[in-house]
Amino acid sequence: MRDWLRMLGAGCLGFFVMCGVGGVAQSAAGAKAAPHKAVAKAAAKEPMVAATPPMGWNSWNFFAGKVTDKDIRDTADLLVSTGMRDAGYVYVNIDDTWEGDRDAQGRIQSNSKFPDMKALADYVHSKGLKLGIYSSPGAKTCARFEASLGHEEQDAQTYADWGVDYLKYDLCSYRTVMTAQAPDDIPAQYKLMREAYEKMHQAILKTGRPMVYSLCQYGWDSVWEWGPSVGGNLWRTTGDISANFDRMSVIGRGQAGLAKFAAPGHWNDPDMLEVGNGKLTLDENRTHMTLWAILAAPLIAGNNLTQMTPEVGGVLMNKDVIAIDQDVLGRQGDRIFAQGPVEIWAKPLSGGRKALAIFNFGETASEMRRISLHLKEAGFLGHAIAHDVWAAKDLGPISDDTKFSVPRHGVVLLVVR
């Protein structure tokens, strides 16, 4: 069962042919940056959620279809006892496979893995955490459980009654509605898709309960251009991540060019973290965490906290890395240089500082021979003083000629002022 569900998660549904096309966001170069008119209006009247990229935990990447009430309670306990909650990871998000049938009034029930959703929400809240849930605009979710088509307002109200604070809304089988209603007409299909997301947005607003609204439709139709206009606080820019370095780095590197679409309340989402999952090494976990922080990406951990090693905890809870992700400027970073496997990315931070990450996506260590740090491109004309974040060390002045040794699949992360 779990493998079957994982397979669905990794590749999306078989009939869901467009899912993950290219897998990664197209370059946004040339894309229209002008925000939809509705954005400013909507932002003015709606309570601000996700002023910085949402942080929390989601059940899918590790537990997938096996997740239970007990896993969520254990996770809530561990978010507190490990220090993750205090580091910022406050949303506990139940992904797909919690859904049961509808009662005679059409009200969605949780299934036997989740005997009492309201009690679970109360438990999560009692720990100083918030609860997230998952559905789809289609008739069925990606794992073919009951979803919200035709029940949007009712479902949003049920979530609000339970005390839900965050909804991930995953396109999944709504694709069959789109193709049935507008066969061979992709623009018309996309319009239906945007309307479906707006419908749930309005349903959430009607409840009066603030909820983070997480759009999951794999980046189709350049969602970064219209996500805010349908109330999205974050939108997936890609197909599904998996716990291996190649997939993680292809997704992360593919975010180049999307920076201009991120702002407080509205974030590009390159998918949930795999830090601590699979066989990712320390360097690979650091690369993953660094790249997501530079991208101002939502930091939604996806590991099994009951088995978290101190090393993995150290990566997820590095305060300086989290501070880069959560910086109040709310600016996403971008690539400023690439030469083969070595890439330099920069993110503007408050106080005129910049985060500068030197990645080595290659198979052997790099000494950066003949590679300049590109400080001018990062915004430094005069002298620059650096702090090495992962080494927790002040480096003093640096110049374009300063060389770093960057391990295979590793990164050097600097905060420069």
Q: Taking CB under 6 A as the rule, does residue 327 contact ligand GLA?
A: no
Tell me the C-alpha distance between 121 and 353, whole Å: 39
Contacts of residue 71, Cβ cutoff 8 Å, sequence gap at least 6: 59, 63
Residue number with CB closer to ligand GLA (230 or 336): 230
**356 close to 330: Cβ distance less than 8 angstroms:** no
- The yes or no reply on residue 269 touching ligand GLA (CB under 6 A) is no
Residue that has been written with the tokens 């899918």 in this structure = 60
Distance linking the first and last C-alpha atoms of the chain: 51
- Pick out residues in 213-242 that bind ligand GLA (CB under 6 A): 216, 240
- Three-state SS at 199: helix
Among 69, 71, 96, 155, binds ligand GLA (CB under 6 A): 96
Whether 255 contacts 270, CB under 8 Å: yes
Give the residue with the Cβ less far from ligand GLA, 9 or 410: 9
184 flagged as catalytic: no
Element at 41 (helix H, strand E):
helix 37-45
Q: Do the beta carbons of residue 6 and residue 60 sit within 8 Å?
A: no
Binding residue (CB under 6 A) for ligand GLA from 28, 50, 143, 280: 143
60 binds ligand GLA (CB under 6 A): yes
- Considering the rule CB under 6 A, would residue 147 count as an interface residue with ligand GLA? no
DSSP type of residue 388 = E
Q: Does 95 bind ligand GLA (CB under 6 A)?
A: yes
Shortest distance, position 8 Cβ to ligand GLA, whole Å: 6
325 is catalytic: no
Minimum distance, C-beta of residue 365 to ligand GLA, in the bound complex (Å): 33
Phi then psi dihedrals of residue 163, to 5 deg: 105, 30
Minimum gap (Å) between residue 141 Cβ and ligand GLA: 6
Question: Taking each helix axis from N to C terminus, what angle separates 69-81 and 117-126, rounded to the nearest 10 degrees?
Answer: 0
In the shown chain, the binding pattern of residues 155 to 194 toward ligand GLA, with x for contact by CB under 6 A and - for none, equals ---------------x------------------------
Q: Which residues bind ligand GLA (CB under 6 A)?
A: 8-9, 12, 60, 95-96, 141-143, 170, 216, 240
Active site residues: 170, 240
